[in-house]
């Protein structure tokens, strides 16, 4: 019998598994895809709160953000440069740390159900004391245990393009004709290549095609990716013998849909909670609530709620270029430079 089985080999799943395995427990990660890190899921644009990462996966560091609406815009300088990572490289890095800690991986294996202490997959059955659902915004683990994920949903599409860019500035574009319900972005890797995408509550394909044509023009397009995200405060992220982490627990920033920083924080708390549960031989919902659900929400509920408020405010003014002009004219954007992008607090 395994001590912990994790469904999903993304960064949150691998980090949770690593923390538990380092304490000498047997941990198995089940992943439906043939390898960790594929398909690539997001832009990989994070703050330094992501923690220590290898220098060779850092693609660019960007200190300025340009907010655009129509012909108006203003710029914000971050307190610390944001990091653009090789996202596949980051996933492989966290996977490697889990592997080094002794975590076992089962690829091309699909989770089906958790009954008693049996984890049923399309290939075999594993016995476990604790099941961790790190299987994304449409978590099968959550559905199988009747854990309701918030319905707030955005659809994302991104491509890599070749053109001419300022490598020191990320662009955020707002407008209901650009990305209804959210925004579009241009994140430069260097002065020649950028990651361009958008999120919306509608079909993103026509909006991205239109944005590419208007902002970039004719260009080479490659590495097209698509995904969905859910955001908000999940009512309950635990059940008997079960906990959710990362996107499955909506540990996601509502404004930017970034899940790496929140997910890594959630994973550390999840790993520690699993260890405590194993030490106490208590796998009840009550124990996991006190040692996991309650703990991670004490650190992330306020940032998530603030992110939802920020998203709501921006959405109301996304078509009002006058607001953007006033922010620039009266220097109000300086206040934005003081805001922690993760809304968590001091470093």
Chain position carrying tokens 């009512």: 235
Classify residue 87 by burial, with Cβ atoms within 10 Å: 0-12, 13-18, 19+. Answer: buried
Residue 175 structural domain = 2-337
pLDDT single digits (tens) 119-128: 999 999 999 9
Whether 266 maps to a domain, the answer reads yes
pLDDT single digits (tens) 244-263: 999 999 999 988 888 899 99
Whether 261 maps to a domain, the answer reads yes
Q: Report the chain (347 residues): mean pLDDT per 10 consecutive residues.
A: 97 98 98 91 88 94 88 81 94 97 98 96 97 96 95 93 95 92 94 96 95 92 91 96 97 89 97 98 98 97 89 72 58 47 49
Whether 298 maps to a domain, the answer reads yes
Strand partners, 126: 119
Whether 343 maps to a domain, the answer reads no
Three-state secondary structure call for residue 294:
helix
The pLDDT assigned to 314 comes to 73
Whether 171 maps to a domain, the answer reads yes
Give the domain CATH number at 127.
3.50.50.60
Cis peptide before 39 (omega within 30 of 0): yes
Q: Which residues of 324-336 are buried (b: 16+ CB within 10 A; e: fewer)?
A: bbebeeeeebeeb
Whether 47 maps to a domain, the answer reads yes
- Do 199 and 155 contact (CB within 8 A), yes or no? yes
Using alpha carbons, select from 162, 182, 160 the residue that is nearest to residue 172.
182
The pLDDT assigned to 318 comes to 66
The pLDDT assigned to 244 comes to 98
Whether 206 maps to a domain, the answer reads yes
> d(Cα 128, Cα 6) in Å, to the nearest integer?
10
Q: Which two tokens stand for residue 45?
A: 């644009």
Give the global pTM.
Answer: 0.91
Quote the radius of gyration of the chain (alpha carbons, Å): 20
* Number of domains into which the chain is organized: 1
Whether 137 maps to a domain, the answer reads yes
> 137 Cβ partners below 8 Å, 6+ apart?
149, 153, 228, 229, 230, 247, 248, 250, 252
Percent of the chain with pLDDT over 70: 91
């Amino acid at each position: 019998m395994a001590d912990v089985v994790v469904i999903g080999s993304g960064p949150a799943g691998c980090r949770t598994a690593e923390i538990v395995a380092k304490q000498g427990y047997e941990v198995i990660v089940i992943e439906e895809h043939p390898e960790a890190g594929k398909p690539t899921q997001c832009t990989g644009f994070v703050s330094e709160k992501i923690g220590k990462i290898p220098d060779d996966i850092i693609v660019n560091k960007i200190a300025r953000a340009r907010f655009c609406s129509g012909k108006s815009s203003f710029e914000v300088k971050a307190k610390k440069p944001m990091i653009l990572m090789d996202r596949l490289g980051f996933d492989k890095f966290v996977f490697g740390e889990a592997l080094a800690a002794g975590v076992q991986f089962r690829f091309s294996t699909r989770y089906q159900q958790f009954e008693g202490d049996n984890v049923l997959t399309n290939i075999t059955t594993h016995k476990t004391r604790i099941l961790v659902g790190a299987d994304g915004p449409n978590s099968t683990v959550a559905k199988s245990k009747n854990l309701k994920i918030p319905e707030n949903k955005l659809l994302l599409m991104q491509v890599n393009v070749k053109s001419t860019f300022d490598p020191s500035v990320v662009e955020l574009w707002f407008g209901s004709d650009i990305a209804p319900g959210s925004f579009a972005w241009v994140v430069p890797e260097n002065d020649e290549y950028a990651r361009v995408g958008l999120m919306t509550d509608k079909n993103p394909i026509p909006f991205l095609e239109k944005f590419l044509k208007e902002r970039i023009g004719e260009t080479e397009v490659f590495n097209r990716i698509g995904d969905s995200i859910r955001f908000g405060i999940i009512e309950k992220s635990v059940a008997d013998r079960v906990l959710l982490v990362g996107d499955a627990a909506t540990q996601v920033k509502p404004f930017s849909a970034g899940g790496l920083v929140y997910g890594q924080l959630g994973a550390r708390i999840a790993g520690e909670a699993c260890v405590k549960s194993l030490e106490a031989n208590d796998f009840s919902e009550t124990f996991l609530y006190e040692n996991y659900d309650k703990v991670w929400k004490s650190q992330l509920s306020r940032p998530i709620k603030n992110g939802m408020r920020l998203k709501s405010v921006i959405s109301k003014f996304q078509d009002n270029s006058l607001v953007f002009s006033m922010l620039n004219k009266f220097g109000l954007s300086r206040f934005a430079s003081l805001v922690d992008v993760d809304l968590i607090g001091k470093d």
